[in-house]
Amino acid sequence: MLIETHAHLDYPDFAPDFDDVLRRATEAGVTRIITIGTSVASSRRAVELAEKHANIFAVIGVHPTSDDDGVDDVMTPLRELAQSSRVVAIGETGLDYHTLPSMAVAKEKHVQIFGRALQSETEEEVEAGIHDGAYKSRQASLFEQQLDLAVELGLNVVIHQRDAWEDTLEIIAPYEGKLRGVFHCFGGSMENAGEVIARGHLVSFTGIVTFKNGAEVREVAANVPINKFMVETDCPYLAPVPFRGKRCEPAHTRLVAESIAAARGVDLEEIARVTTATAEAFFKFNR
Ligand SMILES: [Zn+2]
């Protein structure tokens, strides 16, 4: 019995064979699937799926790079969706600085964005800096609103963090003690993992633990305390070996768990039992 803690079942990738996807998950021993919203619309679809299928639960939130353009108040629609007892956490929310506006300020885009070629490197840097600042503060505002809502509802949060480690920890710090987060698709060092675990949070691992070049993450998965992590696929992305490059699906949670079991030198049953207990304590399955 495994819990797939991070799937995007509302994505169109699953439309053609949705029932088969669920059947294969059940056959692989994946008894519960948590589908994660990435925008208000995606969260609404997640709740609909969870209300329709007994083994699907929803996490609702707005991803930091969501293009819900112009939506500045995400609390109101999310609060409304959270009325459903099938909502088990808030997310995915967090910070993602992987592609900042300044990186898009390449020669030709320059002209599009600013309507003219910039005079000098210095001026370019100044303008890009202002742009990046606005981008980052919008993400911070969306993140804080969702943390506030999670506290209000007594829910934990699923955190997406990419290239924004320091800022993410700074924003979540005042909420510690009131909620817990899971740093999903964890790709940091053992030291990073220790830092968030010490603050009461969890980490979770995807199919990256099965990759040839995933040795570092595998090493972290082998060494974090057994009751401080969960398993996920982040499907349709990150299909584990031997499906790498193909569409990923919740059944592959088993491959993630098997890989971690092998890295730790324990049985799959033990990983399944402990990660399930961890997920049951973290997500509010019985609201
Ligand atoms: Zn995700």
Spatial neighbors of 245 by CB under 8 A, at least 6 apart, are: 239
Cα(173) to ligand 1 centroid in Å equals 22
How many Å from the N-terminal Cα to the C-terminal Cα in the chain? Answer: 22
| Ligand 1: centre distance to CA 159 (Å) | 9
Q: How far is the CA of 272 from the centre of ligand 1 (A)?
A: 21
**pLDDT number for residue 101:** 84
Tell how far the Cα of 176 is from the centroid of ligand 1, in angstroms: 22
Instruction: From 247, 266, 246, select the one nearest 258 (Cα to Cα).
Output: 266
The contacts of residue 16 (CB under 8 Å, 6+ apart) are: none
92 alpha carbon to ligand 1 midpoint, in Å? 7
Distance 8 CA to ligand 1 centre (A): 7
The confidence score (pLDDT) of residue 260 equals: 98
Distance CA 171, CA 117 (A): 36
Strands 2-7 and 30-36: parallel
Query: 129 C-alpha to center of ligand 1: Å?
Result: 28
Task: Map tokens 């939130």 to a residue.
Answer: 61
Identify the three-state secondary structure at position 50: helix
Residue 111 Cα to ligand 1 middle (Å): 34
| Per-residue tokens: 108 | 């030709």
Q: Are 228 and 206 in contact (CB under 8 A)?
A: no
Backbone angles phi, psi at 32, to 5 degrees: -135, 140
State the DSSP code for 25.
H
| Cα atoms found within 13 Å of the Cα of residue 26, Cβ hemisphere only | 10
Return per-residue pLDDT of the chain as tens, 287 residues.
Answer: 999 999 999 999 999 999 999 999 999 999 999 999 999 999 999 999 999 999 999 999 999 999 776 678 899 999 999 999 999 999 999 999 998 988 876 544 444 555 444 444 566 667 777 788 988 999 999 999 999 999 999 999 999 999 999 999 999 999 999 999 999 999 999 999 999 999 999 999 999 999 999 999 999 999 999 999 999 999 999 999 999 999 999 999 999 999 999 999 999 999 999 999 999 999 999 98
What distance in angstroms lies between residue 110's CA and the mean position of ligand 1's atoms?
Answer: 31
Determine the distance separating the centroid of ligand 1 and the alpha carbon of 64, expressed in angstroms. Answer: 11
pLDDT (0 to 100) of residue 181:
98
d(CA 206, CA 213): 13
Query: Looking at the DSSP assignment, which residues form a beta bridge with residue 41?
Result: none
Which pLDDT belongs to residue 72?
Answer: 82
Q: What is the pLDDT of residues 255-279, one digit of tens each?
A: 999 999 999 999 999 999 999 999 9
> For residue 239, what is the DSSP state?
P
5 alpha carbon to ligand 1 midpoint, in Å?
Answer: 10
pLDDT given at position 119: 46
DSSP bridge pairs for 179: 176
For residue 234, the CA-to-ligand 1 centroid distance in Å is 5
* Of the candidates 264, 249, 160, the residue with the CA atom closest to the CA atom of residue 209: 264
CA of 133 to the centre of ligand 1 (A): 24
All residues with CB under 5 Å from ion ligand 1: 234
- What's the gap in Å between 232 CA and the centre of ligand 1? 10
Judge if pTM exceeds 0.75.
yes
